[in-house]
Structure 1
Amino acid sequence: MPSSPAPPFVPSPRRERAPHPTGRPRRLGGWCARHSVGVLLLWAVALAGLQGLVHAYGGDYSDDFSLPGTQSQDGLDVLRAHAPSAGGHSAQIVLHDGEPLTDLSDQVSSAVTGLRKLPDVLVVQNPLPPPGSTPPPPPTGSPDTGPLSADGRTAYVTVRFDVRPSTLGAEYLHGVDRAVQPLRAAGVRVEYGGPLGELARPGAGDRTGEAIGFGVAFLVLLIGFGSLLAALLPLVTAVFCAVVGVALLGLLASVWTFATVSPTLATMIGTGVGIDYALFLVTRHRQNLLDGRDPATVAGNAAATSGRAVLLSGCTVVLALSGLWVCGIGFIGRLGLAAAVTVVTAVIGALTLVPALLGLIGRRIDRLRVRTPVAETDATPGGNTRGGSTHSGWHRYARRVERRPWWFLAGGVVVLAVLAFPLLSLRSGHIGDGADPESFTDRRAYDLMSSAFGPGSNGPLTLVIDRSDVPQADRPALASQAGKALTGVPDAATITPLTATSDGDVLTATAYSVAGPQDERTTALTDDLTDTVLPKAVEGYEARTYVTGTTAAQVDFLGVVAGRLPLVVAVVVALAFLVVLVVFRGPLVAVKAAVLGVLSISASYGVVVAVFQWGWGGPALGVPGDVPIESYVPVMMFAIVFGWGMDHEIFLLSRIHEAWLRTGDPRGSVAHALGITARVITCAALIMVSVFAAFLISDSIVVKMLGLGLAAGVLIDASVVRLLLVPAVMTLLGRAAWWTPRWLDRALPRPGTEGTAGRKP
């Protein structure tokens, strides 16, 4: 009886002949290796030129949470139209003295006058009453929320600018310092709050973290390679490319507004992936050198094999970061652009600068060794060469996974589920000045304001009622009705009486929360005023209401980000799915990559929530108490960690696929690929973790949060996902992993990357 045909989902290995490494990457890598001095000079000239351009034309960084079309932005536009001086961007200068500040009225007036003369200043409010008068008492039953405290020892000067103060540059503070000098000379404590405080923050607070990260990365590379030059090369190229990328970002900042965290984020990501990509090329290069090949030819071959994987991985990371634009928020999209800039320079450096240095060093790469060099091998599964995998510890581990895949799959899923559990209680918000270290002037200003006027004074809410379409005869009744509606609002410490603008078309008031700006009660108050209290206050009239100001804009920003996060996740996952599908032509492999990527990022979210929101270890990291998760951190973490996971997914799957095409043994191919890549993946992950974790000593809570989240994401992905779940799932899928319907196989393009070759290059 004839045997039945094999099921369509169990294919034989396709003995396809992929391109030999004679394409553009090989020619580029070989040319750079043969002309190493010229390539190095070109990079040096590019860096020097970019630094000069940045010094002359580079822009500044500032946090702009405003969103066109939101009610807070619309309210600000109404204020600007009817009361320009009230519609600018405000900052506070907080004054404190042991004696009543009214005794220093001349010095206060002199400081106010000096501030009014500064560029871009619309109006400056003098906190002291006119001579011979007394300040009005605060509303009954509420804390003192006026510019002068009840004891007269604390006051705040409100300065309104026609531009965001954070865009004015640190040099602007020199003028502010000169204006308040009479107060400091009289012994008054002067602290800058809000945007002025951001300008006064130290500019090099993350340098120590970067140095520590590089130091740990060097040790990992030295242990992994066993050679001083081989360990230094990835570090040197990564730092050089990151500096070039940050310089390009500085030029872009002169055109677009980037967040203050952008250069730190770009440095963090660029350095990490730069080391990662250089590591892949150096590893392949050293193996070919051990096989006795010519250094220049070897460098070209490394660029054609691992270089192709680097190019594809870089494109995957950039695609993931580009997916942030689908949220429609320029602030977040530009954060992704900032990181993508240094990823691009890291890829260019890996394809040009790394081969140039490899060609320059030649066979001397292992001369300054601390142990016998070991490199990965491309031996056929079951074979053994120098540095081979057949008898390595990783290969023996891979065989254990092959024998009990269900046990390893279950163990990995349980670990991810436990780590992801805190995600169920995630609370997004904005981290205010109260979470900054006490060495920052904005934190000291925050504490003075909270002590004298209540925590809500640090996040006032401006209430706007536009009654332009209300007849003059009905306006008094509307004002009376609105005033009554604004009495006894839950979570409001006080709401000032409504006042009309000079043209009479707009009513304004200021609401102060019972809690600080980052507290849930302040968010609840903002939502209540926006959705319920103010609409009820103008019920029956053709009036429009808004809640605006910095805190209201942050609440609107949070709502928009939370609503669009699922869209970002869907787009990024879909892009990653398509990349894996096109490269490896296996729908099940692509589905597996997408699902495991989502599980990995969920676990890293859980770690961040446990540390920062639950306070598990937060004080040890310099976090004062429990803080919410910064609204844009989950979005950024998803794009970066998911992109990095796809990076190493491609690296591992390429070796599995290569072995499968050679042998047709699906289980043996998984064990072989894991045996030859686990050391490199582990080394790369340890480096990335050290680079990211080093930013935990930053003064910025957001930077700490990103550093921990990215470090946890990389560690979880490299250990649980890459070493447990991927080999277990690939073993269970067997031949079905590489099944593709014929119509889909014909429709998909053939990019030809490392690991798709039917024979060894």
Structure 2
Amino acid sequence: MFRGIGRFSVNRPWLVIVLWLVATAALIALAPQLKPTNDQAEFLPSDYESVRAAQVQQDAFPQSRQPSAIGVFQRTDGGKLTEADKKEVGAIAAGLQDKKFEKITEVVADPSAVSPDGKISLVHVFASTKTAHDETLVESVKKLRTEAAELLPDSGLKLGFTGASATALDSLEASDSTDAMVMMATLVLIIVLLLIIFRSPVIALMPVLIIGVVFMVTMGVIATASDLAGLEAPASISAILIVVLFGVGTDYTLFLLFRYREHLREGQEPKEALANAAGRVGETIASAAGVVIAAFLSLLLSSMGMLSSMGMSLAIAVAVTLIAALTLVPAVFSLLGTKAFWPSKAWRKQPKPGVTERVGNFAARKPALIAAVSGGVLVVMALGVLGFKAEYDTESSLPSNLESVQAMEELQSGFSAGQSDPTSVFVKSTDGSPLDKGRLSAYTTELAAIEGVDKVSPPQVNPKGDVAQYSVVLDFRPAADEALDLVGGELRDTVHAKAPKGTEQYVGGSTAVLADVQTAVNRDYKLVFPVAAAAIMLILGLMLRSFIAPLYLMISVGLGFGGTLGATVWLFQDGTGGLLFMLPVIVYLFVVAIGTDYNILMVARLREEIQNGRRPQDAVRLAVVQSAPTISAAAIILAGTFGVLMLADNSMLKQMGFAVAFGILLSAFVMAILLVPAVTTLVGRAAWWPGNRNDAIAADAPRPADEKDGDPLVGARTP
């Protein structure tokens, strides 16, 4: 099948290219806009308590309001606010109120909202929508900031806006600048590395142009699929998609080009060489992409909409890249022919024996030593996983110089840490009868007695009298570990245990949402990891027609996963904070799935040489010599594209960039080039059990005359 696809693309290049250009234009014109979000609540299913609490609030208190943004006023000299300062705060708030920003209903200066030390005064911004990430509202907050800055001169005051909508604004702007930086750095990196590897400006530029087309198609397909499925995409998805598409797309292009060059060196005509290369590596690329797609699709089993959406988006990206690698890439290089390598002449001659041959000989001669040392190093690094601490506050990853981040720090320096975002407790009568006010007051005392609770507001009862709402201010930051443990543990337990009889109780608010996210993620890890592993094992088994080889391949990538996450813990995690809560699943999917590409490339070549009648040791030597340059080049480029994320200001993108880049390098240089060939040599022909029995017999047959006494690589070129 892959040979047929390759020949069609090579022999009808213009038809393939035109079809791709038409699809690109259609998707750009017709696809809806992809709308990412940072709101964690939008990613939880409806059966979680925090989501049900939000629904109770909507039904019982439709007019209740939480400020969408908070203005934090201070004196420029850091002193206490005077009465004149407080009047000035009120005047500025009134001036902003008169501006009439769209979807902003009130800008209120509350005289009582002054910190106990008298240094901070708050202004609350209320909106007509409860969706803090609403595009119009976020844009209005941006205009509000600009107008407020014009009212401040000569007042002796400084002002910063924080809160959900202000944070959403800063996050969006930071994401836009990050995407541009990641795109530019990725393009420069890929072009430079390809130029070094092939010494050809055509090959350096052409994959970038091809993947640019693939990127546009992918974004259109993802936007359409998200719109049809009703899924929201996480705000960081654009930056991740850039590195995935350019990294994986370049990898698959390199798989083809290296094999194409190999066939040209054997004397084949350009079109024949390209068609044979596409046929040979087509199965390898399809298997590699299938592993990645299956791993990403396993995220659809997640109860978290964020992970489900990310899994769907990344699976679509890799699927489109696979189709391009099998059709568009061969078509483009069919038109270019050997001019693609201009001005280099290296494609005409066989390379001299070098490092790869020495590595191949070493892997064949000392497999036990290599397996023991490389496996031991991975185990030692994996010990760092034991200290992993999850961080659920995604806003803490934002750059510290953003206005919303600085204003929140100033607010929390003057007020109780939980003042900016209280937790809500709802008590609802089960039969619709009015609640007993005396019992509600006693319930306030029960809640206030919980250790870690700063204060509890008197109950607010809805007009019907069957639902009461309490505002609970914690001693901790809303997203702090202590707050999550309290809300998800003792607070919820007390809310349910001490509530008046005949009522239902719900704990809501952002801290409750994060506590539910924590529960959902822990549940997802137990489900997604095994399912992804089983899917990868199945694909490897079908490709290799073997039961044994997939087992040790999965063990090796499992060690790679542990070593990668452990190294990231040691490098990034300190005593005050943890690592991105999604990091384990991201490392698992990217390192285990994408890193398996290199194992597949190596093992596919090993199987091919075994099928050609070579002994396991000789097959290992040749497979390493022929595959190591491809794997090395592809891994360096892919790791480099993910490493670009370390240039971002967002600390979680830095963690992700390092972890995936480091894991890919481990997968390539330790596992694919060293560990897997060494273990394959140790296992011998049993690696291919129960398939390839004829190949195993052939491998035990006498070697060709040219291999008995001389260099085992002589005459070993694949026809």
TM-score class, shorter-chain normalisation, is 0.7 to 0.9
Partner residue in 2 for 1:222 = 195
Contact 2:444 2:459 in 1 (8 A): yes
2:405 aligned residue: 443
Q: Indicate the residue corresponding to 1:656 in structure 2.
A: 606
- 557 and 149 in structure 1: CA distance in 2 versus 1, 3 angstrom threshold: same
Q: Which residue of 1 aligns with 2:365?
A: 403
Question: Are 2:135 and 1:191 aligned?
Answer: no
Which residue of the other structure, out of 245, 258, 277, is the alignment partner of 1:283? 258
Change (3 A) 1:24 1:407: same
Contact 2:357 2:625 in 1 (8 A): yes
Aligned partner of 2:110 in structure 1 is 128
408-417 or 104-113: which moved more? Answer: 104-113
Distance in 2 (CA, whole Å) between partners of 1:207 and 1:513 is 39
- Determine if contact 1:682/1:718 at 8 Å carries over to the other structure: yes
Q: Which string of whole-angstrom CA distances, capped at 9 and with x for unpartnered residues, describes residues 317-363 of structure 1? A: 11110011122322211101111222122112212221122122212
For 2:151, the aligned partner's letter is: A
Structure 1's 114 and 24: CA in aligned 2 closer, same or farther, altered over 3 A? farther
Query: Distance in 1 between the 2:90 and 2:332 partners?
Result: 66
* Pairing 1:534–2:486 present: no
> Would the aligned equivalents of 2:382 and 2:564 in 1 still touch at CA under 8 Å?
yes
Distance 1:163 1:512, change over 3 A: closer
Residue of structure 2 equivalent to 1:27: 7
Residue 357 of structure 1 aligns with which residue? 332
Q: Residue 60 and residue 83 in structure 1: after superposition, are their counterparts in 2 closer, same or farther (change >3 A)? A: same
Cα gap change, 1:198/1:459 in structure 2, threshold over 3 Å: closer, same or farther? same
Which moved further from structure 2: 733-742 or 265-274? 733-742
* Structure-1 residue corresponding to 2:87: 102
| Counterparts in 2 of 1:732 and 1:63: CA distance versus 1, 3 Å | same
**Equivalent in 531, 546, 549 of residue 571 of structure 1:** 531
Shift of 1:205: 2.1
TM-fit CA distance, 1:760: 5.2
Per-residue CA distance 1:92-132 (angstroms, 9 max, x = gap): 232314253333424313434656x634x6x6472424xxx
* Residue type of the alignment partner of 1:296: K
Q: Which one of 728, 731, 736 corresponds to residue 686 of structure 2?
A: 736
> Which of the residues 498, 503, 514 maps onto 1:554?
514
* Residue 682 in structure 1 maps to residue 632 in structure 2: yes
Q: Match for residue 271 of structure 2?
A: 296
Distance in 2 (alpha carbons) for counterparts of 1:254 and 1:324? 18
Q: Is the 8 A contact 2:38 2:234 kept in 1?
A: yes
1:342 aligns with 2:317: yes
- Kindly indicate whether the alpha-carbon contact (under 8 Å) linking 2:200 and 2:340 is maintained by their aligned counterparts in 1: yes
Would the aligned equivalents of 1:498 and 1:509 in 2 still touch at CA under 8 Å?
A: yes
Q: What's the counterpart of residue 382 of structure 1?
A: none
Alpha-carbon deviations, 1:611-637, whole Å to 9, x = none?
33237xxxxxxxxxx432222232232
Change (3 A) 1:435 1:147: farther
Q: Give the C-alpha shift of residue 280 in structure 1.
A: 0.8
Contact 1:213 1:693 in 2 (8 A): no
Contact 1:321–1:337 (8 Å) recurs in 2:
yes
1:621 is matched with: none
Superposed CA offset, 1:533-565 (max 9, x none): 212321x61222222112211220111111220
Give the Å deviation of 1:446: 1.6
Secondary structure of the residue that 1:85 maps to in structure 2? Answer: coil
Distance 1:227 1:47 in 2: 27
Task: Note closer, same or farther for the CA distance 1:101–1:328 as it changes in structure 2 (3 Å cut).
Answer: same
* Aligned partners of 1:295 and 1:358 also within 8 Å: no
Indicate the residue corresponding to 1:386 in structure 2.
Answer: 350
Q: How do residues 322-721 of structure 1 correspond to structure 2 at under 5 angstroms?
A: 322-369=297-344, 373=346, 386-387=350-351, 391-469=353-431, 472=434, 475-538=436-499, 541-614=501-574, 626-721=576-671
Matched, 1:271 2:236: no
Change (3 A) 1:339 1:604: same
**Residue 258 of structure 1 aligns to which amino acid in structure 2?**
A
The alpha-carbon distance between structure 1 residues 46 and 531, as it changes in their structure 2 partners (threshold 3 A), is same
2: CA distance, partners of 1:529 / 1:414:
43
Cα pair distance change 1:627/1:271, threshold 3 Å:
farther
Distance 1:628 1:243 in 2: 35
Q: Tell me how far apart the structure 2 counterparts of residues 523 and 672 of structure 1 sit (CA, whole Å).
A: 55
* CA drift at 1:643: 1.2
**How much does 1:575 deviate?**
0.6
Shift of 1:41: 4.3
Contact 1:238 1:278 in 2 (8 A): no
Please show how residues 137-148 of structure 1 align to structure 2 within 5 Å.
146=113
Unpaired runs of 5+ in structure 1? 1-18, 130-134, 136-145, 376-384, 616-625, 746-757
For residues 54-94 of structure 1, what are the alpha-carbon distances to aligned partners after superposition, in whole Å with 9 as ceiling and x for unaligned?
5xx313211342321011111111111100133x7852232
Q: Cα distance, 1:309 vs. partner? A: 1.6
- 1:102 touches 1:128 (CA, 8 Å); kept in 2? no
Distance 1:290 1:670, change over 3 A: closer
Provide closer, same or farther for how the CA distance between residues 545 and 266 of structure 1 changes in structure 2, counting only shifts above 3 A: same
Distance 2:595 2:148 in 1: 55
Secondary structure, in 3 states, of the residue corresponding to 2:479? coil
Alpha carbons 1:426, 1:629 under 8 Å: kept: yes
- The whole-number CA distance in structure 1 between the counterparts of 2:114 and 2:21 is 54
Q: Does 1:77 align with 2:55?
A: yes
Residue 214 (structure 1) shift = 3.0
Contact 1:217 1:686 in 2 (8 A): no
Shift, 1:434, TM fit: 4.0
5+ unaligned residues in a row in structure 2: which ranges? 76-80, 153-157, 696-715
Summarize the Cα distance change of 1:335–1:313 in structure 2 as closer, same or farther, 3 Å threshold. same
Task: State the identity %.
Answer: 22
Paired position in structure 2 for 1:249: 222
Letter of the aligned partner of 2:68 in structure 1? A
Distance in 1 (CA, whole Å) between partners of 2:226 and 2:98 is 33
- Give the number of the structure whose residues are more often helix, by fraction: 2
1:726 and 1:155, CA in 2 relative to 1: closer, same or farther beyond 3 A? Answer: same
The Cα of 1:651 is off from its aligned counterpart by: 1.0
Per the alignment, residue 727 of structure 1 pairs with 677
User: 1:321 and 2:273 equivalent?
Assistant: no
Q: Quick one: structure 1 residues 547 and 113, their matched pair in 2 at CA, closer, same or farther if it must change by over 3 Å?
A: farther
Find the residue that maps to 2:690 and give its secondary structure: coil
Rounded Cα–Cα distance in structure 1 between residues aligned with 2:606 and 2:445? 72
Cα–Cα, structure 1 residues 72 and 396, in superposed 2: closer, same or farther, change >3 Å?
same
Note closer, same or farther for the CA distance 1:483–1:517 as it changes in structure 2 (3 Å cut). closer
1:299 shift after superposition: 2.4
Question: After the TM superposition, which of the residue ranges 568-577 and 355-364 deviates more from structure 2?
Answer: 355-364
Q: CA distance change for structure 1 residues 609 and 26 in 2, over 3 Å: closer, same or farther?
A: same
Please say if residues 237 and 275 of structure 1, whose CA atoms lie closer than 8 Å, have aligned partners that are also in contact: no
Number of aligned positions between the proteins: 677
Query: Once structures 1 and 2 are overlaid, which stretch shifts more, 456-465 or 411-420?
Result: 456-465
What secondary structure does 1:165 align onto? coil
Task: Work out whether residues 545 and 691 of structure 2, in 8 Å CA contact, stay in contact via their aligned partners in 1.
Answer: no
Asked if the contact 1:227–1:368 (Cα under 8 Å) also holds between the matched residues in 2, the reply is: yes
- Work out whether residues 229 and 368 of structure 1, in 8 Å CA contact, stay in contact via their aligned partners in 2: no
- Taking the aligned partners of 1:568 and 1:75, their CA distance within structure 2 comes to 28
Whether the aligned pair in 1 keeps the contact of 2:119 and 2:414 (CA below 8 Å) is: no
Distance 1:196 1:248 in 2: 31
